[in-house]
Amino acid sequence: MAISKDRKEELVGIYGELLGQATGFVMADYKGISVKQVNTMREKLRDVDGAYVIVKNTLFKIALKEAGWPVPDDMLAGPTGVIFGAANFPAVAKVTLGFIKDYDGLFTIKGGVMAGQILTDKQVNAVSSLPSLDELRAQLIGLITQPATGLAGVINAVVAGVPQVLQAYVSKNEAA
């Protein structure tokens, strides 16, 4: 069934909006996956600020070029689903790979794009093992507070020792 010119422009605009908000995206082959399974994945992706869209390859190429993203031509063949990651791409990749494990064989990664670099399926897997944004924040806070906690312990030990030193001084003077 042919798509009208207006609908094509609308789809390119939708893809462009998603690309404008994305920090990266994963491309996948979705042969044999049910609507229920797709909806389950979309729900999981919403929790990590991600979105799943089945794209028309030729229109998606146009949107990529217009948005200034690299165009992975070899990955845009056959049925393509694109998983967009807005703020936390590693978490989106992690959810996507978890979904693939749940539905082995129905959904396969073709590759992805992050920070202007085209990624292979193995590189997408590596990105998914990176800590999420929240985990990085927690690690950073831990690194910042750790020295402060140690310093506070030293200061408390010094302050706690002052009365003991004074008491020893007073006891020594009373004895003399």
The ranges assigned to domains in the chain are 5-130, 132-176
In this prediction the pTM is 0.72
Residue type, 67: A
**Which stretches within the chain are classed as H helix?**
5-21, 35-47, 57-67, 89-102, 121-128, 133-175
- For the record, the structure tokens of 15 come out as 């893809």
Q: What is the pLDDT of residue 1?
A: 62
Q: What is the pLDDT of residue 88?
A: 81
Q: What is the pLDDT of residue 165?
A: 66
Regions of the chain where pLDDT drops below 70: 1, 132-133, 136, 148-152, 154, 157-162, 165-166, 175-176
Q: What order of strands is seen across the sheet that includes strand 117-119?
A: 50-55, 80-85, 24-29, 108-114, 117-119
Q: Which DSSP helix (H) or strand (E) runs through 114?
A: strand 108-114
Q: What is the pLDDT of residue 133?
A: 66
Q: Does domain 5-130 have CATH number 3.30.70.1730?
A: yes
Q: What is the pLDDT of residue 121?
A: 86
pLDDT, averaged across the chain:
83
